[in-house]
Amino acid sequence: GDALAVAALIFFAAYFALGKAARETLSGITLQTHSLIAGVPVLAVVFAVDSGGLPIPAAGQWWYVFGLIAFPSTGHFLLNWAHAHVSLTLVSLMTLAVPVLSILGAAVLFDEPVNGLQGAGIVVVLMVLSFAVVDTSRLQAEPA
């Protein structure tokens, strides 16, 4: 578990850094297209090994496949588009808000309880984000 977490951290950081570098020469849609072309075969192999085969969806299940492609890909496309317009630090900091929004969204939409540890984590993340954003704003406002 720990090794997988470290591997995920490394790959996620590489995805961010390489995406930022690629946006200097590629448009957002081109970068997204290349990412999907490279990712689909890799994930198909992982899926096939994990599930013991590559099942073909039934006719009525293809909408689920298209939905899984369309909705998450839209978020990644917007992230790749943003790389050309904001700093890597800001995009990285903004991703820290994802767990907070997920917890709050589950509480509002699905009536999931928020326990004390989650509440404390939300407060810590929001405090760190606010300090980081204020500090970044000050650094950008100071003359060189």
pLDDT in tens, 62-74: 999 888 878 878 8
Q: 93 and 128 in contact (C-beta within 8 Å)? A: no
Instruction: Give domain status of residue 61, yes or no.
Output: yes
The total number of structural domains in the chain stands at 2
pLDDT-derived band at 6 (thresholds 50, 70, 90) equals very high
Average pLDDT rounded to a whole number, residues 80-93: 83
Domain end marker among 37, 60, 86: 86
Q: 15 and 6 in contact (C-beta within 8 Å)? A: no
Q: Are residues 26 and 65 in the same domain?
A: yes
Q: Are residues 79 and 108 in the same domain?
A: no
Helix then strand then coil, % of the chain, to nearest 5: 80, 0, 20
Domain that holds residue 111: 96-144
Q: Are residues 66 and 1 in the same domain?
A: yes
Instruction: Give domain status of residue 91, yes or no.
Output: no
> So what's the pLDDT on residue 140?
65
108 has pLDDT over 80: yes
Q: Are residues 78 and 106 in the same domain?
A: no
Instruction: Give domain status of residue 17, yes or no.
Output: yes
> So what's the pLDDT on residue 142?
64
Q: Are residues 13 and 70 in the same domain?
A: yes
Domain end marker among 55, 86, 117: 86
Phi-psi region of 70 (alpha: psi -120 to 50; beta: other; left: phi over 0): alpha
pLDDT tens digits, 8-30: 989 988 988 898 999 999 998 99
Instruction: Give domain status of residue 28, yes or no.
Output: yes
pTM of the model: 0.62
Q: Are residues 107 and 133 in the same domain?
A: yes
CA 1 remoteness from chain centre: 20
Q: Are residues 76 and 105 in the same domain?
A: no
User: Which residue in the block uniquely carries the two structure tokens 């990712």?
Assistant: 39
